[in-house]
Structure 1
């Protein structure tokens, strides 16, 4: 079956954060939001059908996941990532960000430290601070247009006795790196050596471009598996974020028990009915849709690279290996973070995620969401070109 990702579906007046709660108009012209990480595409048709069918039943009482739900996750992970899971490892959650908050609460005490690798997904910072911990930054190295882990700096910071967790973003948001097996093994072994638990956010793991392969951290070795918590969800893959469902995979029994106790204390052990249905259905029937989506996203990426390279040379695209997010180096424009934000919003009429929100090393960058129909993408590029080249 062929899917039409060129179709423009209006999201205005649908309680949509990206389209309804962003700045709507600027000097009479609608802003194009390319910020929040959801997609402007309809989801897998079978998912839509399954939700409608269940909604028509008309009773929305208390529910619980069944065997089919767990089987769909295990089958998906084996088929897409060659990772064999056990049902008992899977703990449902309303989302990866709530899960990370509960993980921090379960495995740290106020005053403990948590390592991040900036520039990185900004809710991580809030999760650490709101749970009374201190952020330890292990910034990625930016070398000739590509980001790498700084293992020398990491080795030093892991030794602090109050460092209890490291939050890994794999694939990395916003820089788009898909970490290699060698990088993951080195990171995992260093954390084991220093008794630091790894929380791996792998929510973008299904969105990887050709010639790259996502490797689940817990699949690297048995030792690393026992020292890791893997956060997964169908939300980025199939555009289901509003249904609030994720699956947290914890192979080690002791860690899983401690995490579940925290969920019980927070009364957070259930998930949304329609999220449950969507997750199982997407993993069962969504593979063909996803394969075509990745091809479409790849072409969107190439369109942006070509357009920017030829017509907006002051901007530099950091080549993504995964995700539908582009990390754009705008430092040649000579603006600080707030000036760049104001420029893009008022002059280009585009809303991005500002680079400085991902950490100090993101200053002068913008994160662009390219999961939209190509006509919308071209309109946005034209606006950016006009604004930048008229400086």
Structure 2
């Protein structure tokens, strides 16, 4: 079983988080806690499966075997009690490219695509780079936490938006949407004939409660639903670029597959295939241990900040290994907060404003790391606060 306390040096491995943060943050002495990948090795069965491919030594053209489909649908059934047939799955080279192709296939230039900020920042580019109209349905901040503004969502759908990009669980807020919330969204999507693309890449990373696939909630309604998933966040396999879309409508699936064929998208690599299959078949025990470790890390961050930096507030995530921290109590502008974090705290964090204007005054911290890594980052934050 993996020792999550073990610190693995990622410097000089072409790691985006550890080697390339100077390009983004303009300094080379920062402590990186930004990119949403983990500082943990993937499960041993995954490493063993990939080693077999290396040992074979031939990396010619590759096709995905039926066993990968079997392992994938088996995982969805086991984790979410979700019955998905192998023929409902279309594999893709990453969730972000998959969403881009879904936008291209099912909307036209100028069509409205709804996002729910503060939200995963590539969503903005996906809409705008494809020349669609960005429609904002900001989350509501309440005393009980963040929730969907259903009244505003209905107005945006009623006005003619064609697609909703649903982030479930939500990044960066960490909300795991309840079945009731998802049902209300499904009702609106059915009423106004809106496509729902549900990005569920963090679905396996549930810290509190349970994840409900949007497609399960929408199953009894006439809602066009496409669900984007991957083993990448779950098992730290992002660079292998393997994801998949689950379709509920075979006609829509064929249209999407035809689009991918026109774009020559679809060739997989053997490392991604064997890694995904091994993870889904043999990675569950590792995942449960990971989740418990991350839960403890989240509790540590919350208690540390409450004790040492009372002007900040931790929005405790229900899902993901990402922590949304409210720093508005410091009374700094986005630029001032950015400079303070980089120059005083010597930290590379994801500033909240990149997720939308609603994220102003917040930051996102990655807690999927050994406790000592987390401790170093928090010590830097405390020192900067005390010296302010």
Global fold match (TM > 0.5) = yes
User: Offset at 1:308?
Assistant: 0.3
2:227 matches 1:217: no
Let me know the Cα RMSD of the aligned residues. 1.6
Instruction: List 4+ stretches of structure 1 deviating above 3 A.
Output: 24-30, 223-226
Q: Aligned with 1:222: secondary structure?
A: coil
Counterpart of 1:183 in structure 2 is: 181
CA contact (8 A) 1:8 1:373 kept: yes
Counterpart of 2:300 in structure 1 is: 303
User: Offset at 1:83?
Assistant: 0.4
Counterpart of 1:254 in structure 2 is: 251
- Listed as ranges, the matches of 1:237-276 within 5 Å are 237-276=234-273
The alignment's TM-score, normalised by the length of structure 1, stands at: 0.97
2-structure distance, mates of 1:221, 1:373: 39
Counterpart of 1:74 in structure 2 is: 73
Counterpart of 1:35 in structure 2 is: 34
The number of aligned residues is: 388
2:101 matches 1:102: yes
The partner residue of 1:164 within 138, 162, 165 is 162
User: Offset at 1:314?
Assistant: 1.2
- Listed as ranges, the matches of 1:5-44 within 5 Å are 5-23=4-22, 30-44=29-43
1-structure distance, mates of 2:38, 2:291: 12
2-structure distance, mates of 1:24, 1:127: 23
Q: For structure 1, which runs of at least 5 residues remain unmatched after alignment?
A: none
2-structure distance, mates of 1:59, 1:22: 34
User: Offset at 1:189?
Assistant: 1.2
The alignment's TM-score, normalised by the length of structure 2, stands at: 0.97
Counterpart of 1:84 in structure 2 is: 83
* Partner deviation per Cα, 1:73-132 (whole Å, 9 max, x = no partner): 111011111101011110000000000000001011111110001000000100000101
* Partner deviation per Cα, 1:43-80 (whole Å, 9 max, x = no partner): 00010111011111111011111111001011101111
Counterpart of 1:347 in structure 2 is: 344
Q: For structure 2, which runs of at least 5 residues remain unmatched after alignment?
A: none
User: Offset at 1:223?
Assistant: 3.6
Counterpart of 2:123 in structure 1 is: 124
